[in-house]
Chain A
Amino acid sequence: MPSQREITEWLASWSKGDPQALERLTPLVYGELHRLAQVYMRGERPGHALQTTALVNEAYLRLIDTAGMQWQNRAHFYALAAKLMRHILVDFARSRDGMKRGGGIPQLSLDEALTFTEERSAELVELDQALAKLASLNERHSRIVELRFFVGLTEPEIAELLQVSPRTVSSDWSLARAWLMRELDNNKADDS
């Protein structure tokens, strides 16, 4: 495991546009988020609310030397974490969904009952697809959804990270939200 300082330097280089730094950073951040997500989901922290924000913050504090950290770097970290969180949660949901369809297990085990319900899993997988579509229409709107839904940041926090006004985030979110809800509804209509 590289040192906190190395990881912090990679984040800084990536923020300055070095794609190789991102390649080094991604598996590390992914690994840490995945590990933490499992810890949270298995309920190994009893009584702890399952909050993605807490999880991403924890990963950030673990991996990055926060002293003297520039906001740009922090913003890049959260953007990366949001993408990775989306992968992790959707993967969890897919595997959950797969088991259901495969009919391999007759009853939910308790662990599973505490993570994803069937309905939730399906919704997450569909949202992931709709979000990909939205990204092709407006990249920023999909990022706002990622940061809000997958990381759990508030609108003022997102505004700070993206360096736009809170009002912009709020209005972007309302259109993205309406658009996604309609998209998911249309999918349902297609299915039935």
Chain B
Amino acid sequence: MTPERYQEIEALFAAARKLPPAERSAYLAQACGADEALRHEVASLLSYDDRPNNFIDVPALALSAEPQFSNAGTALTGVQVDHYQVLTLLARGGMGEVYRARDTRLDREVALKALPAAYARDTDRLRRFEQEARAAGRLNHPNVLTVYDVGIYQGAPYMITELLQGHDLRTQLQQGAIPPQRALDYAHQIATGLTAAHSKDIVHRDLKPENIFITNDERLKILDFGLAKLTAPIASRTSRPAGEFITKPGLIMGTVGYMAPEQIRGHEIDGRTDVFALGVILHEMLTGTAPFSRGSDVETMNAILHEDPHDVAQSIKNFPPVLASIVQRCLKKDPQQRFQSASDLSFAIETLSSAVPISSVGAKTNRMSVSKGLRWLAVLSGLAILAGFLISRLDRYEFQWRNPLINAQFTPLTDFPENERSAAISRDGKFVAFISDRDGPLDVWVGQIGTGEFQNLTKNRAPDIGNPRVRSLGFSPDGSQLTFEVRIQDRVHSWAVSTLGGSVKPYIDGVELAWSPDGTRVAYHTDAPGDPMFIGGRDEKIGKQIYAAERGVHCHYLVWSSDGAFIYFVRGFPPDEMDIWRIKSTGESLEQITFHNSLVAYPTILNERMLLYIARGDDGTGPWLYGMDLEHRVSHRISVGVEQYTSLAASSDSRRLVATVANPDSGLWRVPISDHIVEESSAERLVLPTVRALAPRIGRDYILYLYSKGGNHGIWKFGDSSAIELWSGSLGRVVDGAAVSPDGQRIAFTAQRAGLNRLYFMNSNGTGVTELASSLTVRGAPAWSPGGDWLTLAAGQGKTAGLFNVPLNGGQPIPLIEGQAANPVWSPDGRFVIYSGAEVGTTFPLKAATVDGRPYRTSDVVLSRGANRFSFVPGQGLLVLKGDIWHKNFWLIDLVSGQQRQLTNFSREFVINDFDVSPDGREIIFSRVKENSDIVLIDIPEQ
């Protein structure tokens, strides 16, 4: 064929294709005339055109992802397998596919694991697998997956097991190392499960993080006993020289990094083989890397056979030596030198957990249980890690930099199940105070360090105490009084209470009191626009204003330099566009000190050269502890590990610091919208494939949410029991929730790239990512117009700030509202857009405007800080978050009548941070965070 011929064909093909099929042949006969070959050619191509579902219709890489055995027809959704009705696919992995299924005889939900048909060929092996799986399943041990049934369906074996909710240990490890206390707890649970199995002579043989499941209530389950026997290559069952074996890497299936030496050599295996694997897993949990992991399977196996494992105690300085020796002993090459049984190992872990010496000052130390001991151990070792890290890394990198916490001793001070926040320390370092909901409402608590006693000072006698985004609590210079922030009718004030107890009383109409080093002057700010900053004398009621930022900009966390010449403070747009600045106490020389442009909080002056503070990492992780030598002005992260820092304060001699440390857990929940107030029991947690999730948005048949594997938040799409990452946080941290277009086909979102918030949209499958309106400085997430052809968002352009409409076709942004406006949401009928107006104190009003930017009249609604998300419930009104500044519930507001109705009364443990309403208006999907915070004391020895 020639290009010219092809061209001829093209014209005829296109013309004929437009005709109804019945008329085509007549048309071709006429158009081709005598050229019979041409007619035949076009007719044959048209016949191919009519064939649907060719492989080239689907992009190549999407096709390649299909697992091999789906060819054998094991895509089982909707199929009846014996008496199991298969419902949905839960997971798809190397060993097969796992489905949610219903046992129609017993009428219960189960998990069905379908194995590749190839494994059924060896009937002898299949029978042994069946025996063993049943035996292990009958153990009925809480740490072993219960197997109900084993069968063969259309030539492929399957297993019926209990249905679990949670994630596997591999998923957990992708977040990095696990804090020692949890790692030990996990190892203990695995060892307990193995003990039960070994007692029945059942060896797992293939223990690895993929085979260990963590349920939502932190119960570990060992999966797939007996499966290794079914799937292991023939080679490992017969004795053969290692050399020959490793020249045929194709024979080895799965991960080799967890095999014991005797397994690689093909020698006899027993329970001690599983002990070795558990040692590898424990090492990996503690350090984040498997001890023998090398570039290839061959090298890995060589390392297992011949190399000593990396010493945990060496990679983590000040690591408890006992724990390190437990790991070492599991990893001995000779089974004789290992723990001789899983029960020995389990005993060793228990002993360690209760024997670690702790210099405690906490409240309940005398009744410390094993689990508490573990928890304390974690904090201690985490801090040891920090110190070690600093010595080995930072000092080497920068000659001048000396980590001030290098030899510091870290002591956990509280271990309440409730949260402790906003920790403060008296100037003499003898008392700590914090805000806690230990008695129900938020109160100010104080305790003398070393006594372990804490006293509730305010006893629910002060209104709305504290604020998560400011330093809410502080001691007076002489330590006799505590001043704290309260909120009355949406204005903030400082109240005071004696550290000995007694009455609570108003103190000053300003907040974040900072006393000068000599104790004669106090700096504070008010809640007027720009957070104007004042300095007053000890007994003056009204100070002199030294500074106010622009309207909309906030100034928090005031603190004096050690010579009393400067006020350091955090300035910017809360919560995550902040940095530390300083200004002379005379009001001159405003100067920016840090350059994070993220969450920055709690500047704490250690001495004339050293500033400590809390900030998120550049990759969005944290918040962590940072330090800066004020002469060199380079920020250094000084905390490592997973604990997040949420507050920080220092005694006047800077020898003692107090911090709050959190271990937050965030997830998605659902609750019905009902005609009465529903309680905590009506909230149901969604089971997601990722360990955390934030900012849900409901699409047609999917939910979008934000999640990060330790770094920046990306956009994930959850549907049909699995989740895929549509936008990776490595391309840019996603700011706020993504917005789904009205037809569900497109997703708009804001992501931070190269320090700038940019607006993007893409198809709902993650393709066609397009940047829009690059001239705008975007603030927050966009909202779709009701027609789906443009986006509304809060942004700045040059000197103009406000709401803009951005057409999807790439046209110029059009200003809609000028002035302070954020969080736009269009009404379902498209008649008006609702948005937040300028903040006053800790509140902001909702405003509304028509399509052409004119004010639209609704009932007055004022919301408090943290309630930035609102959404329409079709036909019912606007769903908002209302409550105190720490804890909010769902309320429904009728924008016409102004009537408000509370929908939920949830537990105070959680903070709701985002939500979406289902299109039918019957359900809320929301994300909330449980902070799990405690107070840690940091003692710095004399240098």
Contacts and interface: CB of A to CB of B under 8 A. Distances in A.
A153 interface: yes
A105 B235 CA distance: 13
Contacts, number: 152
A61 B65 contact: no
B253 interface: yes
B62 A152 contact: yes
A155 to B, nearest CB: 11
Interface string A37-49: 1001100011111
A114 B97 CA distance: 12
A137 B766 contact: no
Majority SS at the chain A contact face: helix
B60 interface: yes
B766 A105 contact: no
B302 to A, nearest CB: 19
B763 A154 contact: yes
Contacts of A110: 94-95, 253-254
Contacts of A40: 61
Contact of A47 (B63, B67, B69, B724): B724
B20 interface: no
A181 B10 contact: no
A145 interface: yes
Contact of B68 (A61, A108, A151): A108
A123 B45 contact: no
A148 B55 contact: no
Contact of B17 (A109, A124, A174): A174
A179 B45 contact: yes
B354 interface: no
A144 to B, nearest CB: 11
B768 A47 contact: no
B59 A52 contact: yes
A49 B766 contact: yes
Contact of B725 (A47, A55, A68, A178): A47
Interface in B5-61: 6-7, 9-10, 13-14, 17, 44-46, 48-49, 51, 54-57, 59-61
Output the residue of B54, B64, B67, B726 with the most chain A CB within 10 A.
B64
Question: In the complex, which of the residues B6, B17, B46 has the most CB atoms of chain A within 10 Å of its own CB atom?
Answer: B6
A109 B725 contact: no
Q: Which of A52, A110, A145, A151 neighbours the largest number of chain B CB atoms within 10 Å of its CB?
A: A110
A105 B54 CA distance: 30
Nearest to A86: B60
A182 interface: yes
Contacts of B1: 137
Contacts of B690: 47
Given A53-B59, A53-B768, A54-B766, A89 B64 contact: yes
Given A109-B250, A174-B17, A182-B48, A54 B767 contact: yes
Interface in B900-933: none
B720 to A, nearest CB: 12
A120 B13 contact: no
B662 to A, nearest CB: 27
A30 interface: no
Interface string B57-91: 10111111111110100000000000000000000
A50 B17 contact: no
A51 B56 contact: no
Interface string B770-797: 0100100000000000000000000000
A157 interface: yes
B49 A174 contact: yes
A113 interface: yes
B56 A149 contact: yes
B64 A41 contact: yes
Nearest to B118: A107
B722 A154 contact: no
B723 interface: yes
A116 B68 CA distance: 8
A127 B731 CA distance: 33
Interface string A122-165: 01100100000000111000000100111111100100000000
Given A114-B67, A152-B61, A47 B56 contact: no
A47 B93 CA distance: 10
A25 B310 CA distance: 41
A57 interface: yes
B61 A138 contact: no
Contacts of A105: 250
A49 B724 contact: yes
Contacts of B798: none
A177 B50 CA distance: 11
A35 B898 CA distance: 57
A138 B725 contact: no
Contacts of B14: 171, 175
Nearest to A105: B250
Nearest to A113: B68
B215 interface: no
B6 A138 contact: yes
Contact of B250 (A37, A57, A104, A179): A104
Given A49-B65, A52-B60, A152-B61, A138 B728 contact: no
Contacts of A136: 3
Interface in B83-136: 94-95, 116, 118
Contacts of A104: 250
B597 interface: no
A44 to B, nearest CB: 10
Q: 7 nearest interchain CB pairs? A: A152-B59, A113-B68, A50-B65, A178-B48, A110-B94, A105-B250, A137-B6
Interface of B: 1-3, 6-7, 9-10, 13-14, 17, 44-46, 48-49, 51, 54-57, 59-69, 71, 94-95, 116, 118, 171, 174, 250-254, 689-690, 722-726, 728, 731, 763, 765-769, 771, 774
Given A124-B60, A175-B13, A177-B54, 14 more contacts: A51-B59, A53-B768, A85-B60, A92-B64, A105-B250, A113-B116, A123-B55, A137-B1, A137-B6, A174-B17, A177-B48, A177-B57, A178-B45, A181-B51
